[in-house]
Amino acid sequence: MDRMWAPWRIGYILSDKKEDGCVFCNAYQSKNDKEKLVIFRSKYSFVIMNLYPYNAGHIMIVPNRHIDSPTLLEKEEQLDMFNLVNKSLDVLKGVMHPDGFNLGMNLSRTAGAGIDDHIHIHIVPRWNGDTNFMSTVSDTKVISESIEETYDKIKNAF
C-alpha cells in the first residue's frame, strides 16, 4: 500500500461525505460558496472546484439546471458555459501559470463520469513534468497545494 503524508486532509477524512441529492444542485442552491467550493456564478452556470482534483486548480463549469446531456442545453446556457470556460482559462493562466490544460466532459459512467446525471466541463491545469515517477511508477498523485489555498487564489482572481 502506498502512503503519502498529507496532514491537511484530516478535515476531509473526518467529515461526513455522504450527501443527499445531486452534489452540483446542492452547491448551486447553497448560500455558503466556500463550503461548497463554488468560485463564481453567472446567469446559467457556475464554476466549482473539483473536490478530488487531478491537479491543483482543477475546476468545473456546471449548468445551473440539472441535466445529463449537453444536447439539452439551451443556446443561452451553451454560450454562458463557454464564456465561463474562457474566463476560467484566463484566470487559471494568471493565477496558476500552467503550461497547458485538459478540457473536457465525461458523458455517462462508461465514459468515466463520477457524476453522470448533471453534466459539467472539467478544466485541468497541466505543467511540464507534472506526470513523474510518483504517478507513473508509484501510482500516487501528489497535489502540492491545499484545495482551500487554491480556492482562495482562484476566487480572488475572478
Catalytic site positions: 120
User: Which cell numbers in the block locate residue 31?
Assistant: 448560500
Distance separating alpha carbons of residues 87 and 95, to the nearest angstrom: 12
C-beta of residue 57 within 8 angstroms of C-beta of residue 71: no
Contact 52, 11 (CB under 8 A): no
Task: Report the amino acid identity of residue 72.
Answer: L
Cβ contacts of 4 within 8 Å, gap of 6 or more: 140, 142
Torsion (CA) 39, 41, 46, 50 in degrees, nearest 10: 10
C-alpha cell read off for 109: 459512467
Q: Give the whole-angstrom CA distance, residue 95 versus residue 19.
A: 31
